[in-house]
Amino acid sequence: MHVFTTVSELQGYLQAARFNNQSVGLVATMGALHRGHISLIEAALSENEVVVCSIFVNPTQFNNPEDLVKYPRSEQEDLALLRKAGCQVAFVPLVSEMYPTPSILQMDFGPIAQVMEGKSRPGHFNGVGVVVSKLLHMIMPDRAYFGQKDLQQVAIVEQLIRDLSFSAQLVVCPTLREESGLAMSSRNKRLSDEELKLAALIYQKLAEAKNQLLSGISIPQVIASIEAYFNQIPEFRLDYFEIVDRETLQRVEGLAEGQSVALCIAIYLGDVRLIDNLVID
């Protein structure tokens, strides 16, 4: 596997690949890789001749400086996992390579960025939009792979690709879960064994809420029962639980024929913020 830290080395390699008519897939990550990330690499490998995995903890998408400092980093293990998966290129730039000068551009994604993660983490999607744009420009992939685990991020990237006419095709991959149902996440590495057990409740309650909705229980009732449940467990602090239209990400009043609805949660377990979602098609 080639490991590049500079854009010019990376582009030199990709130019040769493109000259040989090889298609390129991009998996953008912040490292601390787990099987969820590797499932994106595998999807990319199945559709492209060259797969680039970027590992970059993007400072501009962290609204909470402590979260940035505590974000898990494990570069050597990450590179070993990527080698084992058969990834051809790892792009591991320093902050100074990605931001030779501080980024001034502000990206406003409108209503889809004003709810949930956008509301709780001001500036987050501006940071995501800028860094994903940079990666798409630098790498010019044929396909870019993103996980449904970050459902709102998928909507943002979809709009970014459309509005800025990037040629990459967005491929959305399903959420990989632990046996307990807990969505795999780099942040899970910060949880104690005890907290990991509690964290499994997040998926269990989401699945229960989905079944309640399907059995005809009203949205306000489902929301109230989730809020009441997590409020009585002192280790949890619910940030939001929302039931939204999958495309617009705006709240819905009820289930409608032909509409995809997403149940989205963000919750603190101790000082670790976890997100998850389930979709009803």
Q: Is 127 annotated as a binding residue?
A: no
Closest by Cα among 147, 279, 127 to 210:
279
Catalytic pick from 2, 37, 124, 137?
Answer: 37
Query: Per CB under 6 A, which region of 72-80, 173-181, 199-207, 226-234 contacts ligand AMP?
Result: 173-181
DSSP states of 181-217 as a string? Answer: SPBP-GGGGGS-HHHHHHHHHHHHHHHHHHHHHHTT-
Query: Per CB under 6 A, which region of 82-90, 144-152, 201-209, 244-252 contacts ligand AMP?
Result: 144-152
Q: Is 37 annotated as catalytic?
A: yes
| Beta pairing, strands 272-280 & 261-269 | antiparallel
Among 4, 71, 146, 241, binds ligand AMP (CB under 6 A): 146
Q: What is the distance between the alpha carbons of residues 95 and 225, in angstroms, rounded to a whole number?
A: 43
Query: Residue 121, CB half-sphere, CA atoms under 13 Å: how many?
Result: 25
Q: Is 33 annotated as a binding residue?
A: yes
Among 124, 134, 149, 205, binds ligand AMP (CB under 6 A): 149
Q: Is 2 annotated as a binding residue?
A: no
* Both tokens assigned to 199: 């964290």
**Ramachandran angles phi, psi of 146, nearest 5°:** -135, 150
Q: Which of residues 198-217 bind ligand AMP (CB under 6 A)?
A: none
Give yes or no for residue 278 binding ligand AMP (CB under 6 A). Answer: no
Strand order through the sheet with 236-245: 236-245, 261-269, 272-280
**In Å, what is the CA distance from 39 to each residue of 56, 127, 170, 274?**
18, 25, 15, 20
Among 29, 88, 152, 277, binds ligand AMP (CB under 6 A): 29
Beta carbon of residue 217, minimum distance to ligand AMP (angstroms, whole number)? 28
Decide whether 54 or 219 has the Cβ nearer to ligand AMP: 54
Among 107, 184, 202, 272, binds ligand AMP (CB under 6 A): 184
Query: Per CB under 6 A, which region of 8-16, 105-113, 183-191, 238-246 contacts ligand AMP?
Result: 183-191
Give yes or no for residue 30 binding ligand AMP (CB under 6 A). Answer: yes
What does the per-residue mask of binding to ligand AMP show for 36-55, with x meaning CB under 6 A?
Answer: xx-xx---------------
| Beta pairing, strands 50-55 & 24-29 | parallel
Give yes or no for residue 150 binding ligand AMP (CB under 6 A). Answer: yes
Decide whether 88 or 186 has the Cβ nearer to ligand AMP: 186
Q: Which of residues 83-112 bind ligand AMP (CB under 6 A)?
A: none
Tokens 């406003």 identify what position? Answer: 108
Q: Is there a contact between 256 and 250 (Cβ–Cβ < 8 Å)?
A: no
**In Å, what is the CA distance from 175 to each residue of 53, 95, 241, 258?**
18, 28, 18, 23
CB neighbours of residue 41 within 10 Å: 24
Beta carbon of residue 200, minimum distance to ligand AMP (angstroms, whole number)? 14
Active-site residues, by number, are 37
| Known binding-site residue numbers for (R)-pantoate | 61, 153
Please state the residue numbers annotated as binding site for beta-alanine.
61
Binding residues (CB under 6 A) for ligand AMP: these are 29-30, 36-37, 39-40, 146-147, 149-150, 173, 175-176, 183-186
